[in-house]
């Protein structure tokens, strides 16, 4: 049994960690640490999880010999501090995205983990989104032939959120960028079109980044000003094309704790694959969606902790993504 503690109790913990961990028999959330000021007027939700101990004393988790892994799910400006504290107290650490503010800070954490013979890893859970897993399944089938273009969208229509400040790259686009890097690694070239539609040079509410891999181009787009839904993924190869709309999170958080569905989504939202086979015959088929399950990341992390397996999210991938985010923000500052 891997017993873990979580630092923080915000939206990410309630919606993207706890619901996917409750069915993992080999993993138990023992304690959640919250600062006293964060509990003011916000203790009702704690009652949804009677099996978890809540504490406002950080040493309760740092000095608990039962706890092997600490999950840092706070604002990015405290990630480095909490990650280092966990490692210095002999705990493995899983850190929410973005892992750190800069790749230099992330490198410090990875080096400390190596010295302590512990694991430090980024929680890039969106690698286990159902729509992305479906995309991977189609690519691996080989039916599209040689891939020449990928388009990935992460859009909303929230004009009220478009304001000064840089946060869209680190908050949303980081997911799609990491998904691409997990598939293809470092690009031969990256072209940035990151700017603001509200305050030019002062925010990053429009993101359009092209990654070149030989003759293949992958475009990552993210915006808060898209009213009509785009497909989540569009992919073209020299033998066919694939289109998939977003699977969403399949979660429900009314009264009580958030619950998630592991049912395959309705056929109306399956992907569409159209291709020509080796004999020149055309095919069009619906591709059943894979199921979103962020707990899969924990299972792979458990394997790495218990049996020295590979971390599912590699250090060099984290550093590379952080450098891309940095360069994207710099591009936005220069855009007019």
* pLDDT tens digits, 92-121: 999 999 999 999 999 999 999 999 999 999
Dihedral (Cα; 71, 75, 76, 81), 10-degree rounding: -60
Given a contact cutoff of 8 angstroms between Cβ atoms, the answer to whether 131 and 244 are in contact is yes
165 pLDDT exceeds 90? Answer: no
* Bigger pLDDT: 196 vs 59: 59
What is the rounded CA–CA span in Å between residue 290 and residue 303? 22
* Structural class in CATH, domain 130-295+324-334: alpha beta
Report residue 1 CA to chain centroid gap: 25
Q: How many CB atoms lie within 10 A of CB 109?
A: 24
Length of the chain measured in residues = 336
* pLDDT tens digits, 57-89: 999 999 999 999 999 999 989 999 999 999 999
Q: What is the pLDDT of residue 162?
A: 58
* pLDDT tens digits, 216-254: 999 999 988 899 999 999 999 999 999 999 988 766 766
* Bigger pLDDT: 204 vs 297: 297
Q: Mean of the per-residue pLDDT values for the chain?
A: 93
Reading across the β-sheet that carries 282-287, which strands appear in turn? 189-195, 206-213, 216-223, 147-155, 233-237, 240-244, 271-276, 282-287
| Residue ranges of domains in the chain | 2-121, 130-295+324-334
* Helix, coil or strand: residue 169: helix
pLDDT category at 255 given cuts 50, 70, 90 is confident
Question: Which CATH number applies to 2-121?
Answer: 3.40.50.720
């Amino acid at each position: 049994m891997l017993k873990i503690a979580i630092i923080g109790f915000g939206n990410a913990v309630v919606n993207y960690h706890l619901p996917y961990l409750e069915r993992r028999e080999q993993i138990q959330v023992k304690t959640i640490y919250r600062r006293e000021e964060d509990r003011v007027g916000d203790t009702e939700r704690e009652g949804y999880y009677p099996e978890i101990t809540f504490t406002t004393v950080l040493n309760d988790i740092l000095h608990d010999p039962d706890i092997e892994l600490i999950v840092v799910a706070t604002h990015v400006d405290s990630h480095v501090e909490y990650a280092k504290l966990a490692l210095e107290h002999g705990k493995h650490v899983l850190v929410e995205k973005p892992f750190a503010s800069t790749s230099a800070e992330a490198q410090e954490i990875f080096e400390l983990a190596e010295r302590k013979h512990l694991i430090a890893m980024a929680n890039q859970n969106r690698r286990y989104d159902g729509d992305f897993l479906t995309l991977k399944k189609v690519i691996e089938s080989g039916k599209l032939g040689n891939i020449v273009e990928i388009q990935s969208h992460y859009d909303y229509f929230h004009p009220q959120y478009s304001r000064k400040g840089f946060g869209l790259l680190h908050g949303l686009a980081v997911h799609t960028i990491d998904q691409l890097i997990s598939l293809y690694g470092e690009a031969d070239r990256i072209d940035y079109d990151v700017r603001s539609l509200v305050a030019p040079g002062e925010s990053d509410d429009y993101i359009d980044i092209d990654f070149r891999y030989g003759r293949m181009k992958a475009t990552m787009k993210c915006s808060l000003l898209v009213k009509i839904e785009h497909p989540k993924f569009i992919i073209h190869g020299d033998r066919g094309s694939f289109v998939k709309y977003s699977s969403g999170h399949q979660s429900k958080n009314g009264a009580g704790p958030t619950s998630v569905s592991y049912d395959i989504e309705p056929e109306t939202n399956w992907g569409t694959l159209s291709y020509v086979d080796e004999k020149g015959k055309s095919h069009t088929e619906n591709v059943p969606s894979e199921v979103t399950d962020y707990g899969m990341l924990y299972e792979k992390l458990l394997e790495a902790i218990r049996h020295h397996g590979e971390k599912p999210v590699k250090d060099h991938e984290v550093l590379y993504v952080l450098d891309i985010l940095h360069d994207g923000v710099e591009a936005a500052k220069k855009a007019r």
